[in-house]
Amino acid sequence: MQTTSDDDLTRWLDHLGPMLDGLADLVADDGTTLDHSAASLRDLERLLLDETQAAPPREGLVEALGGYLGETLLTAGGGAWSWDEGSGLPVAVLDAGGTVEPMPLALDAVTRRTGTVWTAELERVTAAAARRRADDDGWEPRRADRPALPAGAEDEAPDPWLTAWLATRREQFSAWAADTGRAQELDLSPASLVPLAQVVRQRVASEEALDAQIETDFLQGAIWYLGEVARIHRGARWRYTPDPDGTSENPSVGRPWVTQDDGGGSAIPALELWVVVRADTDDVLLERFEEFD
């Protein structure tokens, strides 16, 4: 009996969850967590490259890795799985824009052997989602189907202040970037940290001025921008711990900050601005970002 693309998609979705459970078991001893982070993609791409140095990969590995890659891109860009009748393969249709074929992309890593093919694609999709947020008030990347992996603890309800602050900063990003006069360069890429530092150094003459202006839209926008670059390109997450009476001496309390899961790096963007003001080079943010991993 001839099958339809809907039948093929249903079989794929039914198979995806158990397949990813098996992948999680395979990499658990290596400390890799299937949390849709850039770090997890780097670990899995290394696994595939190691396996294919002298022989084909074990049966089913590329399919499982392609499934996880698609799930990760759908988490970053929203959307749902679909089935391509031409290739006979599942595809990820992204709400942030475009369609990705995870299986060919998985094999592309073997061909190119750079170790960065999958993280580069995640960066592209996450940047597209950031642009969609800036252009479309209230848009967020949401799945239109059921994710194959269960939500983890990282999906717990965020602090209400942080939720409101992030929403405000996203809504005002386009206007903020235009106000800097460098909107074309401020594209949330790591390289854009250089023009960001230049603008901050031009507008804030001293540490005292930074203290006095820290609550202004310009500096709050710069804080958000720094954290978003870490979130997009280093898999970091926003965090916020309230300081109700204003007495905490912990520098991360009362300020939004970003951190990577599983003991990775963390940074307080507001304090990074102090480094910018004190520095004698416009490359300081980019240099520090390259050490954030």
**pLDDT confidence tier of residue 158, bands split at 50, 70 and 90:** low
Distance (Å, whole) CA 79 – CA 291: 33
Q: Where are the chain's structural domains?
A: 5-135, 157-290
Whole-number Cα distances in Å, 88 to 9, 91, 168, 293: 10, 10, 43, 38
Instruction: Tell me, letter by letter, the H, E, C secondary structure of 137-171.
Output: CCCCCCECCCCCCCCCHHHCCCCHHHHHHHHHHHH
Lowest mean pLDDT among 93-97, 112-116, 258-262, 265-269: 258-262
pLDDT of residue 3: 52
> ∠ at Cα 188 (185, 194), nearest 5°?
55
Closest C-alpha to 84, from 13, 199, 5, 156: 5
Q: Tell me what the mean pLDDT of segment 231-258 comes to.
A: 84
Q: Tell me what the mean pLDDT of segment 237-265 comes to.
A: 80
> ∠ at Cα 267 (262, 268), nearest 5°?
135
pLDDT of residue 2: 45
Question: Residue 248 above 80 pLDDT?
Answer: no
pLDDT digits (tens, 9 = 90+) for 129-143: 999 988 887 788 888
58 class by beta-carbon count within 10 Å (0-12 exposed, 13-18 middle, 19+ buried): exposed
pTM for the model stands at: 0.56
pLDDT of residue 264: 65
Question: Residue 1 above 70 pLDDT?
Answer: no
pLDDT of residue 24: 87
pLDDT of residue 155: 46
**pLDDT confidence tier of residue 18, bands split at 50, 70 and 90:** confident
Question: Residue 263 above 60 pLDDT?
Answer: no
Q: Which of 35-39, 114-118, 143-147 has the highest mean pLDDT?
A: 114-118
Q: Buried (b) or exposed (e) across 118-139, using 16+ Cβ within 10 A?
A: bbebbbbbbbbbbebbbeeeee
Spatial contact of 183 and 138, defined as CB atoms under 8 Å apart: no
- Above pLDDT 90, what percent of the chain? 56
Q: Tell me what the mean pLDDT of segment 230-238 comes to.
A: 86
pLDDT digits (tens, 9 = 90+) for 28-52: 877 788 888 888 999 999 999 999 9
**Residue recorded with tokens 């978003």:** 228
**pLDDT confidence tier of residue 182, bands split at 50, 70 and 90:** very high
Within 8 A by CB and 6+ apart from 91, the residues are 70, 81, 82, 83, 84, 99, 100, 101, 102
Closest C-alpha to 148, from 287, 38, 244, 24: 24
Spatial contact of 122 and 73, defined as CB atoms under 8 Å apart: yes
Half-sphere exposure of 38 (CA within 13 A, CB side): 24
**DSSP for 201-260, written as a single string:** HHH--SHHHHHHHTTSHHHHHHHHHHHHHHHHHH--EEE-B--TTS----TTBTS-EEE-
Phi, psi of 84 (to 5 degrees): -95, 115
Question: Residue 82 above 90 pLDDT?
Answer: yes
**Residue recorded with tokens 């093929």:** 8
